[in-house]
Structure 1
Amino acid sequence: MDIRVELTPHPIPLARPLPKELTGTAGAIAEFQGIVRAQEAGREIGALEYEAYSAMAEPMIRRICQELAAGGDCQFVSVTHRIGVVSVGEAAIHVVVASRHRAAAFALLTGFMDRLKQDVPIWKARALDTAGRPIAPAP
């Protein structure tokens, strides 16, 4: 299985072609985009700032994808996660899963997002207001 992982400070291009070798073999493409909302913990924000322990996060993402794909028919997974400041309306994460059948693609995608939030050292460092100033945590 082809697994691609990228942690980037740059905006995520949401339209990416699948590898040519999947043409004719992948019957399902499941995709998830996590977008920064205008509210965090009930407060208006302008952006979120993400931090990651990249040396640990990237191999963990690969391992999680391999574990979730074991014995299934997934062929390709691409995970792109933003680090740094991500403005409201921008994608913080983009995940694409290609498989022969939809059930495997949906299962891997759902399982991956659950594990990402639990296990991978990527976190929201702080919320920023619309002027880019840190917002103090709510009491």
Structure 2
Amino acid sequence: MTTHTTEAAAPAVPTIETDEGTWTPQDAFMHAMAAGEAASAALAVGPPRCLSICKSLGGGYEVDLQFSEAPDQVKDFATAFDVPVERKPHAFREDRIYTEAHAVIRGVPVHVWTLTAHEPDPLDEADSEAIVKTPTPAATDSGEQA
């Protein structure tokens, strides 16, 4: 009697297209961990308060580093990866401001940010003044807003 066995074909592994090439989901996750490590290692002051790796809608991963009231650490990151620093008001609290920077490290988007009190930034006061001041409408002689 002869018995024939057949091997089932291995399931197809999904891939993710990136600027760095084609990655499997495991490759993408490993690159994200390496990007988080590289971002943290570039900081002279110390590690972030929180480092998270999240799956993006495109199937790859994104890295997010948060600092506790430390715009200087965001600026260290921006300098290390030659990217601009952005400062913008909090959407719901006028007394808070975001300082953030975005870079792509090892093909992975990395977002570094901190939330601080709404005060002039001692590291870049001219930038702070330009961002946080909002013009108010001038009043006319009749008391109405112009």
TM-score, normalised with respect to structure 2: 0.29
TM-score, normalised with respect to structure 1: 0.30
> Whose strand proportion is higher, 1 or 2?
1
Query: Which one has the largest radius of gyration?
Result: 2
Work out which structure has the larger RCO, using CA pairs closer than 8 Å and 6 or more positions apart in sequence: 1
